[in-house]
Structures are given as C-alpha cells and as structure tokens.
Amino acid sequence: MRVRQLTAAAAALLLAAGLGGCSDGPVRGPSPAPASADPTATTGDVRPADRGAVRDGGTLHWALDGVPATLNVYQRGASADSALLAHALYPSLFRPDEHGRLVPDPDYLAGAESTPPGQQPQVVTYRLNPHAVWNDGTPLSAADLTAQRAALSGLDPAYRGGPAAGYDAIDSVTQGADPHEVKVTFRRPCAEWRALFGPLYPAAETATPEAFNRALAGTGHLSAGPYALTRYDADGGRVTVERNPLWWGDVPKTDRIDFLAAPPERRLDALDQGRLDVVPLTAAVDRAEPPASPVPPSSSPSPAPPSGTPGAVGAPADPSADPPAGAPEAAASALRRAESLPGVTVHRAAAASLTQLTLNAGHGPLGDPALRRAVGRAVDRRAVAEAALGPLGLPGAPLGSHLLAADQEGYRDDSPAIGPEDAAQLLDAAGWKLPNGGTRTKDGKELVLTLLIPAGSATARRTADALVIGLGEFGIAVNPRTAPADTFVQDQLADGEYDLALFSWPVGASPAAEQRAAYAKPRPDADGALDHGRNYGRSGTEEIDRLFDRAAAELDPAARLDLLQEADVRIWQLGHSVPLYQRPELVGVRTGVTGAGAFGFGWPRFQDVGWSR
C-alpha cells in the first residue's frame, strides 16, 4: 500500500504477509524460534491443533490492543487488530506457511494457475471453492475481485484507502468458464500475484468509493469466514465472533471468541486472574515500567525496538530523555512473572519483521559511502543480536540479508559484500584516523554519531548499549537519543536529524514489493527538493531500483530470488543499513488452548483453535 509516510496504524497492515504484491512504485511498510538458515526450521511457536483432541464448544478470550476503527485492512485507520479479526471473518485466497511462503487456502481456492514465464500477457486463473459463500448465501465471485481491484488500483482517487501494490498491475478481471472461475489479466508481469485478494472483501463493501471509504465497523456487514461478527463494542472494548452457520469447511471448535481490549501494562494481571486465554506479551514485557526509584536516569542508550513499524505507543513526552535506568530489569522481571504464571505457557517466535540499523546518508559525515561501509563493518551483529534476544530466551542469531528472514527460501548472508573484515582498515581508508585512544577524527572533527531510538523499549536499549560498546571499540562515538514512539516516524525519521536510526521493517512473501520503498532512490519532487519517501537511509541507486522492478516482474521463482539477492548485495555495498535480527514475538497461552501461540510468519487457523479434551 502506498502512503506518504508510515504511521503506527500502518505497522499493523505490514505484519500481514498477504498485503504485498507487484508494483512499479513504493508500498506501505518500513517486525523466536531460532533464526536459522535451515529451510526446514520454522519461525512459529504454536501448540499444533489435532482437531480430534480438541473438544467442541466453549469460549476463548483473546487480547487486543483495542477495538479497531475498521476491519478493512486497506483503509488508513486499520491496525494490527484489524488484520487479526479479518483472518477470522474474511477470505484470503492464499495464506502464509511457517516460512512465509504463500500457499492456496482450500477453504476458498480450489486451484490457481498463472501463465508460464515469458508468455504475455500474464493471466492468472482462479478456481474459487464452489462452496464458499458470504454469510447472506451469495457465492464468492468475480464481482468481488473486480470491485477490490477497482478500489485499490489507484485509478480512481475517490477511493481513500490508497492503492495496494499489485492491483495497479491488473488490466482486467473477468468471469471464466463458469461462475467459480475467475481470470485476472495483468498489464505487466506480476511475480507476487499470490499476495493479492487477501483479505478479500465483498463487492458490497468496495464497489463504490462511498462504500469503500466508510469505516468497516460494527455488525451487519457481510463476511465469509469460519466465524461471524455478533458484537462490536468500541466503548466496552469487546469484539465477539461466533460460529458462522453457513461455514462450509471444518466446523470451528470454539463456539465463541471474545476479543478484549487489554493495554499491555494490564495483560499479565489479566492472565493471572484468568480473564484472558491468548495474550500477546511482547509489549507487556518490553515496555514494563520500572518501580519508582530515587536513582537518576541513566545516560546510557534508551529503549525501543521496533514493532512492525518504527515506533509504538506509550513513550515519554521528552524526546531527548533517556528512560529510567531500571527498564531492562523491569522487563526481565515482567518476563519472569509471565513464565511463572500457573497454567500459562509463554510461546516465543521470530516475528515477520527485521530490526535494522539505518545509516542516514543525508546527514553529517555518513554522506560518504566509504564511511557508511566502514561503520556497517564495525557493527558486531552477533553481539547485538545476543544482547537483544538472549534475555528473552531466544537465540542471538544475526541476520545477513535486508530482504529475507533467515528461514525464508532463498535466504543468504550477503554481509561479506560490505568489504574486508577489518573495519579499522576501512575507517582509515575513509580518512578517519584513530589517535592514541579516544575517538577517530578527520579534518579536525571527531566521529560522533547520533543514534535515534523510539522510546520505551528494553530490547532497543540493550541493542543500543551493544552498538555503543561495539562501535566505540573502533573509535566511533555514538550518542543515543530517544524520541516519542507515537511520533517517531513522522517527526523524527522523516525530518532526518540523526545519523543512525534503529527500527524494524516488515518481511513477508512479497519482498520485491514490500521492501522496495525502504531502498528506492530519493527523487526530486515538484519543488526540486529531494523526496526520500520511506527510504530513511536516504541513499539509493538506479541499479537497485531496477533490480527490485525486475524481481517484481520475474515469474521464474529461482530467477526472482537471484535478483533479490543481487539487490541485497548492492544495498550492503551502498552502506544503506545493517540488518541485525528478527524482532521477537512473545505470546502467553493458557494451558489447554491448542492452535494458538506465537505465529511468526503465519496467522491463526481460527476453526482449529480451541480447548483440548
């Protein structure tokens, strides 16, 4: 999806792998199990659902950040909770497996086939499940795909959701040989076509700008999932779904799921008191408040890793203030409490989000690509990953790719492309000399870099501490500076008054579309000023842009991965940013609940979630 700047709401949309596609422009998006290059490893930590061992009936209580303003994930007011609820209520023709690969969902799709590479135009033929119906009995059809394409193609500015990548590549949507066959013809090849129509909304909600622009909230709307919406209480903080009586697939095991708004700081209490059964705990642990103390604030780096998008809520008002010195201890205490709660298991996974250190080429000495490469080589990625993830009980596995997580197909550590192993030699060659101890200098100026961090996170604090120590060993002084998380993107990253910045960028099954915006070459706008879009490193090349575009249009999977790997090599050589680790995901699940946990790349199969016998 395209918007000018990334917001906290956009974070939500980006953690769904199915929101990407093929595009000739940027898309929305700048989030464990062991990060391993082993393609058989999985990112999720979910107690598998053996349907035979799950009893029928009962109610499940699932924590939300809040009742979302809309269930339409393509609208600007959407959140992570919008995406979660959409998985229970709306079709997605494909769904990600545990490695982020999109596979057909047989509840909605009997089959799908694209014309082979080299054959033009590209036509994708979908065979919709003939049993799939909206909850008024109307079958899913070409009309639904046609309306969604019109709403998201960007051709009509009256649709206020903003175009989503891939829909702008579609030339036409037509019915095929029968009402269950749909043919989608593309005006240019679209390699990531499987990411389209997930979620799919009924034509009644998308066919006109007026219908699409209305917030999809409250009851009375068509849906086609294993559950139907029966309560939508924004004031009371509750969304209730119950078994869809027209559901054609496996009967949902649970009669009802109550999604309850629960602020992170109250979630451990709610778990302890038995009021919640499935509870995301990452923010509850990471942003735990230390007890009041007379100890003055620490001068060491402040916290806040990224969550799907840079920033989150609950930050201090003063953007230059460090968090209390007890933040890491408070996080450790919160984790110990979560692990000790009776009848609760803490599931851990690598989220579908890559934490990276971005080097700002538009500010200070990092305009020199030789210095950027030297700083990138000086980062001890393993030490940073261990400092960030070890206290959460996760392996400190560093990442070597800007575009793929370590257990995705095609992952390769491309960090050697940055240059020789000896960072000191690179710094010397860039003209920054190290006196007898202290900080490197060039032309009488010391190499002192600011590090921007969204406030409030113990994990980011540990990350920043490790960066300060590691870079300091090479004579690079780093001064961390925190910023309120809720304005981190629009007021801090966008303004560019920093040298280094720490945040996460989502990763999914459509890297050519999802990641392009982060690395697209800044271009002059209508006034002649350089427009960086969502490239917060503010460096890029025509070659990198072409590699992304070619990958987005390459229908041969092996050739597409080759192009993505080549783009990653060029990004390393540019010194744009340093991938560090996958963002952690912690979820507390009550004993006896199956089919729930930390999903990593995947999402819940709600009809399988329930209580064991």
Would you say residue 38 has pLDDT above 70? Answer: no
pTM equals 0.87
Predicted local distance difference test score (pLDDT) of residue 519: 97
Segment 578-586 mean pLDDT: 96
Predicted local distance difference test score (pLDDT) of residue 321: 39
Amino acid found at 43: T
pLDDT tens sequence across 407-430:
898 999 999 999 887 999 999 999
Would you say residue 191 has pLDDT above 50? Answer: yes
The Cα-based distances of 386 to 372, 463, 501, 544 in angstroms read 23, 9, 19, 31
pLDDT, averaged across the chain: 87
Segment 323-338 mean pLDDT: 80
Residue 267 neighbours by CB under 8 Å, 6+ apart: 63, 276, 279, 280, 281, 284, 588
CA 204-206-208 angle, to 5 degrees, is: 90
pLDDT tens sequence across 92-123:
999 998 888 999 999 999 999 999 999 999 99
Instruction: Between 163 and 132, name the one with better pLDDT.
Output: 132
Would you say residue 249 has pLDDT above 90? Answer: yes
Residue 63 neighbours by CB under 8 Å, 6+ apart: 259, 260, 261, 262, 267, 270, 276, 278, 279, 280
pLDDT tens sequence across 121-161:
999 999 999 999 999 999 999 999 999 999 999 999 999 98
Amino acid found at 236: G
Predicted local distance difference test score (pLDDT) of residue 43: 60
Instruction: Between 529 and 370, name the one with better pLDDT.
Output: 370
Would you say residue 47 has pLDDT above 90? Answer: no
Question: What structural domains does the chain harbor?
Answer: 91-224 (3.90.76.10), 365-585 (3.10.105.10)
Predicted local distance difference test score (pLDDT) of residue 456: 87
Q: State the pLDDT confidence band at 328, using cuts at 50, 70 and 90.
A: confident
Q: State the pLDDT confidence band at 306, using cuts at 50, 70 and 90.
A: very low
pLDDT above 70 covers a percentage of the chain that reads: 87
Would you say residue 259 has pLDDT above 80? Answer: yes
Instruction: State how far the Cα of 362 lies from the Cα of 379, in Å rounded to an integer.
Output: 20
Instruction: State how far the Cα of 321 lies from the Cα of 313, in Å rounded to an integer.
Output: 16
Predicted local distance difference test score (pLDDT) of residue 292: 55
Instruction: Between 166 and 568, name the one with better pLDDT.
Output: 568
- Among the ranges given (31-35, 74-78, 194-198, 360-364), the one the predictor scored with the smallest mean pLDDT: 31-35
Residue 383: φ, ψ to 5°: -60, -40
Would you say residue 18 has pLDDT above 50? Answer: no
